[in-house]
Chain A
Amino acid sequence: AQTVTQSQPEMSVQEAETVTLSCTYDTSESNYYLFWYKQPPSRQMILVIRQEAYKQQNATENRFSVNFQKAAKSFSLKISDSQLGDTAMYFCAFMTPGAQKLVFGQGTRLTINP
């Protein structure tokens, strides 16, 4: 069974700093998809970034980028120039084609301080 582990339950940084959230996963599949979701206090789940395992290039979305290390089964999220609005729970998630379900990590609560 696939598992996703986020080893940092909570993190806190100052506004404008860069922060990296860690995620590791376990799978025997070679083709899969990885995601980072943001859940602000409103509770809404928002897709931040997506990575296809067959793509070697790390995905980037504005201030958000990932460091995808397939051999190490690691998928970290880097937030540059952090803003107060980045305060949220962040979930790493994994999906294999045809599995029809997202497997989520436990989440990291990120607080951006003014």
Chain B
Amino acid sequence: NAGVTQTPKFQVLKTGQSMTLQCAQDMNHEYMSWYRQDPGMGLRLIHYSVGAGITDQGEVPNGYNVSRSTTEDFPLRLLSAAPSQTSVYFCASSYSRTGTQDEQFFGPGTRLTVL
């Protein structure tokens, strides 16, 4: 198993550009989520999904869109990038639909810089 994969690993955008961060898992996990990591703030939840066709907002959803058309993939879209979205983005997945007692597996992260 490849586990949780994310592409790209690094990305530089200009303000106003759009892009999609890709996340895929091959563990047949129901639950997938996106976090952003900023210095001094730990990781904060952006969006999550408990299964194909089901998504919901987390703590900091503004400026981001998600969709879950398959169990395996959970892309994160930045509609119009802003410097405040400069961060490291992590995708995570777990077997349980609630994502609670089961271990959450994290991808390697994407470092995004918005100029």
Contact = CB atoms under 8 A, between A and B. Distances in A.
B103 A91 contact: no
Interface secondary structure of B, over-half rule: strand
B106 A101 contact: no
A92 to B, nearest CB: 9
A38 to B, nearest CB: 11
Interface residues of A, number: 24
Interface size class of B (residues with CB under 8 A): 20 to 34
A77 interface: no
B17 to A, nearest CB: 24
Which 7 pairs of residues, A with B, have the shortest CB-CB distance? A104-B42, A45-B106, A101-B45, A104-B43, A43-B109, A97-B100, A106-B42
Contacts of B45: 101-102
Contacts of B99: 95, 100-101
